[in-house]
Structure 1
Amino acid sequence: MRIAIDMDEVLANPIHKFIQLYHRDHQVPLDLIIAPGTEIFQNVPEEINGRWFEYINEKGFFRDLPVVDGAVEAVRQLQEKYEIYVVSAAMEFRNSLEDKMDWLTEYFPFIDWKHIVFCGEKIVNVDIMIDDRIKNFRDFKGRPLLFTSPHNLLLTEYERVDNWQQVLDKLM
C-alpha cells in the first residue's frame, strides 16, 4: 500500500516561521494565538496581513522550517510497512523547490528522490493521503487523513489525526 504525505503543516512547520518573521518585522508577539478555522495572516493586524505572501515567496523560506514533532520517527516506521511518497504542491511557490528538496534531504534522507513529488494539484494514485488541506482530498479515491492545523480545526467530515503518534496508532 502507498501513502502520500504532505510537507507543510504535516512534516514541516511553516506557522512557527511565520510567527518568527512577523515578530521580527512587526513586533507581533511570538505567543500569537491562531483562532480555530483561520489562517495565520487573519490573526495579525490588517495592515500587515499580506506579508505572509511575501515571506512564503522568498528564497530560503522553506529551507529551515522546524520538523513537526515525531514526524521523522513516524515516517521511518511507516516506511517499514508502506511505500511512502512525500507529495507537496510546491509548484505554487517557485522558490520553494530547491528549499524543499534540501530540507527533505536533511531531515528525511531515507526517502528516495523517486518518492518525492512536487506538483500543482495532488492527483496521485495512493491508498492513503495525509494532508492538512481538504482541497487535496477532492477526487481522491483512497483514505484521507486530515492532519490537524489551526485552519482546519472546525472541519468534522474527515478522519482526523492530531499528531504523528495518532497516525501510527491508526496505520501500524
Structure 2
Amino acid sequence: MDGVIADTETQFINWYELDYGVKVYPHEILGREENEMFPDKEAARKFAFTPGFFRTLPVMPGAVEAVQTLMENFDVYIVSAAMEFPQSLPEKLEWLQENFPFIGWRNIIFCGDKSVINTDFMIDDHIKNLDYFKGKPIMFHAFHNVNHNHHHRVNNWKEAVAFLETHL
C-alpha cells in the first residue's frame, strides 16, 4: 500500500517542510532509507506515528485506474505491513474506503510480515518484502530502492499494468 498506491515520499517531504521549515527535494533523498532521508534522522518515524499521517496520504499517480484495470483479470489484494504503526490501521482503512472504494474488505490485508502473503505476484517498494516473497516480485520504484536491481522494476503504474498484462 504505502509507496505503491499511497505516495508516502511526497507526504514525508511535505510534512518535513511544514514541521522543520526546510524544503527537501526528491533527488536529494535518492538511495536513502526512510531513517536517512532528512537531517533529523527521527523525523520520518515521528511522522509515521503522528495521527493523520496515513489518513492524508496522496494517491500515487495512476494507481486508481491501474488497480481498476488489473481487477478485470486478476484478484487484487491490498496488503500493508501496518502493525508497526498500530494507529495507522483505522487511517489506512478509511483512506482505502475513500480512494479505492471498489476494493472490498475481504481484499484488504493488514499484517506484520508480508512473507506470509501467498499470491502469484506482489508489487512492493521495499526489498525486505520482495526478497522473501514466494511468487513473482515486482519492485515499484521508490527513492529508497534505486540502488537495488535484483527484482523486476516498474517505475510507475502504467509499467506495472503492462508487465502484468504480459502474464495473463
TM-score interval, smaller chain: over 0.9
Distance 2:34 2:136 in 1: 28
What aligned pairs does 1:102-141 form with structure 2 within 5 A after superposition? Answer: 102-122=94-114, 123-141=116-134
Cα pair distance change 1:41/1:137, threshold 3 Å: closer
Residue 91 of structure 1: aligned partner: 83
Residue 159 of structure 1: aligned partner: 152
Q: Which runs of 5+ in 1 are unaligned?
A: 1-6
**2:26 and 2:143 in contact (8 A); partners too:** no
**1:34 and 1:150 in contact (8 A); partners too:** no
Deviation at 1:41, TM superposition (A): 4.2
Residue 9 of structure 1 pairs with residue 3 of structure 2 = yes
Runs of 4+ more than 6 Å apart: none
Cα pair distance change 1:41/1:33, threshold 3 Å: farther
What percentage of aligned pairs have identical amino acids?
Answer: 44
Residue 137 of structure 2: aligned partner: 144
Select the residue among 32, 35, 41 that pairs with 1:49. 41
Residue aligned with 1:139, SS: coil
**1:19 and 1:28 in contact (8 A); partners too:** no
Structure-1-length-normalised TM-score: 0.90
Give the superposed CA RMSD: 1.3
**2:55 and 2:94 in contact (8 A); partners too:** yes
Deviation at 1:117, TM superposition (A): 0.2
Distance 2:109 2:29 in 1: 31
Tell me the alpha carbon deviations over residues 44-90 of structure 1, each in whole angstroms, 9 at most, x when there is no partner: 22xx2212111110121100100000000000000000000000001
**1:28 and 1:44 in contact (8 A); partners too:** no
What number of residue pairs does the alignment pair up? Answer: 164
Residue 29 of structure 1: aligned partner: 23
Cα pair distance change 1:164/1:59, threshold 3 Å: same
Say which structure, 1 or 2, has more relative contact order (CA 8 Å, 6+ apart).
1
**2:120 and 2:135 in contact (8 A); partners too:** yes
